[in-house]
Amino acid sequence: AEKLRSLERHPDLLVGDMDSISETTLDWCRSKGSLILIYPPEKDDTDTQIALQALEERDITEVEIFGATGLRLDHFMGTLASIYGVRNTLKATIVEDSVEIGMVSKELVSSAELGEIWSLFPFGGQPTMISLKGFKYSLRDATLEYGNPLGVSNETKESEVQILCKGGTVLYFRWLKKQ
């Protein structure tokens, strides 16, 4: 919420124990009409997991998550696990200043700037067969698997890219070019 406030974008839904939000920003969210669901600090689910479930319950199909990489890598991994858990019903994308992080289980078609760097990894434990179009290193029915970093550091060569997945999930890092 702090990041959104700095961008002058208020959240539609604010969910969690509110342990990392200032009272000023919480009041700002209230004044903008954000729906706020407060949970106790001690709980079994993470704030991200609760938020994603709340979105699913409201039939929301797409969300951008800001500030998810933070300082705690364990929390970041928990966020990735939560996104993986809803990948079939909710397109969740992590958005940071210089990187966009998301998952693909079937197909992603996206506009892109020439020269963007994308890295792709299998996620969820099983090898993933992928095909890539619009990249410097196009692939057709290539296997991404743990122990082989084939998908690291590819570059866009067209204004639209396509990632096709068969039989698994791909975690992607899209390094955004500075404007």
Lowest mean pLDDT among 14-23, 53-62, 104-113: 14-23
- Given a cut of 90, whether residue 67 has pLDDT beyond it is no
**CA distances to 12, 27, 130, 133, 176 from 108, in Å:** 25, 37, 11, 11, 17
**CA distances to 2, 26, 32, 43, 159 from 23, in Å:** 10, 5, 14, 22, 42
Q: End-to-end distance of the chain based on CA atoms, in angstroms?
A: 24
Residue 4 binned pLDDT confidence (cut-offs 50, 70, 90)? confident
- Write down all domains in the chain, each with its CATH number in brackets: 1-97 (3.40.50.10240), 98-179 (3.40.50.10240)
The pLDDT value recorded for residue 178 is 67
In the chain, the percentage of residues whose pLDDT exceeds 70 is 99
- The predicted-structure confidence for 11-34, as pLDDT tens digits, reads as follows 888 998 998 899 999 999 999 999
